[in-house]
């Protein structure tokens, strides 16, 4: 089992940033970590990918009930938990910070040692902090991790057919309006289709990938879209 959490703290300088960290529950070893402005689905996916690439697939991810893990309106349909399901990893939600005692203690240690090490190195940006993290994690794991009672690895190989770029994406849904129009991020788009009938009231699935590209799907079929120009701006 892997525990994951995000800690907002003044890690460098006076401005708060977020360190997303993951530890192996059996050993206390840091298995993934990333600084970001805040705790987002994509940044959390990057930390999970670090674990997959270095160790393999773990069995369970233990987290708090932050919105990226726990969507009460559509249970099990956050983008993070959907990605975990595709990877055959069970998502478990803690009921209190005390239930995540090991990773809560980690934050206390890092807010002391990691902050001091970064101050010595004059690290003041998220980019520089992320570049330094692997060195610190290696030091931390050598000093603080413990041997498990069973030394046989419980991590599983990642199947070759799994494309992480397709798994680790953001999926949103929108309703198609009159004229095959759809709105996302304050942009009005029109769906180009030669179906010969209106898609009004259908659901369009929008997948945003890590490189920033987007694809649109209606009834699992990819469709093309064009931005609908505002007549006043066009004039």
pLDDT at 235: 39
pLDDT at 77: 59
- Is the pLDDT at 181 greater than 80, yes or no? yes
- Is the pLDDT at 210 greater than 90, yes or no? no
CATH number of the domain located at residue range(s) 2-144 in this protein: 3.30.420.10
- Is the pLDDT at 31 greater than 90, yes or no? yes
- Is the pLDDT at 234 greater than 50, yes or no? no
Note the pTM of the prediction, 2 decimals. Answer: 0.84
Q: Where are the alpha helices (H) located in the chain, listed in sequence order?
A: 41-54, 79-86, 101-120, 126-144, 164-167, 231-234
pLDDT at 84: 95
186 — pLDDT class (breaks 50, 70, 90): confident
- Which regions of the chain carry the CATH code 3.30.420.10? 2-144
35-53 per-position pLDDT tens digit: 999 999 999 999 999 999 9
Report residue 27: phi and psi, to 5°. -115, -15
Which is nearest to 102 in space by CA: 49, 9, 46, 24? 24
Cβ atoms of residues 207 and 170 within 8 Å: yes
Cβ atoms of residues 75 and 17 within 8 Å: no
CA dihedral sign, ordered 70, 137, 25, 16: negative
pLDDT at 51: 97
Mean pLDDT of 181-206: 86
pLDDT at 193: 75
pLDDT at 209: 92
pLDDT at 231: 46
pLDDT at 38: 92
- Is the pLDDT at 78 greater than 60, yes or no? yes
CA dihedral (49, 52, 55, 59) in degrees, to 10, reads 120
């Amino acid at each position: 089992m892997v525990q994951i959490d995000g800690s907002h703290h003044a890690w460098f300088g006076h401005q708060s940033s977020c360190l997303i960290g993951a530890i192996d529950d059996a050993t206390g070893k840091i298995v993934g970590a990333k600084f970001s402005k805040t705790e987002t689905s994509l940044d959390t996916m990057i930390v999970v990918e670090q674990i997959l690439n270095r160790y393999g697939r773990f069995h369970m991810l233990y987290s708090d009930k932050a919105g990226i893990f726990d969507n009460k309106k559509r249970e099990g349909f956050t983008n993070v938990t959907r990605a975990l399901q595709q990877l055959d990893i069970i998502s478990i939600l803690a009921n209190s910070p005390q239930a995540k005692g090991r990773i809560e203690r980690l934050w206390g240690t890092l807010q002391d040692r990691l902050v001091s090490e970064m101050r010595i190195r004059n690290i003041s940006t998220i980019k520089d902090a992320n570049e330094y993290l692997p060195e610190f994690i290696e030091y931390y794991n050598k000093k603080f991790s413990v041997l498990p009672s069973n030394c046989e690895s419980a991590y599983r190989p990642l199947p070759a057919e799994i494309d992480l770029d397709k798994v680790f994406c953001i999926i949103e849904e929108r309703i198609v309006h009159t004229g095959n129009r759809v709105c996302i991020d304050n942009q009005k788009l029109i769906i180009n289709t030669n179906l010969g009938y209106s898609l009004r009231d259908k659901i369009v699935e929008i997948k945003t990938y890590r490189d920033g590209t987007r694809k649109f799907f209606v009834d699992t079929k990819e469709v093309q879209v064009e931005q609908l120009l505002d007549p006043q701006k066009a004039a």
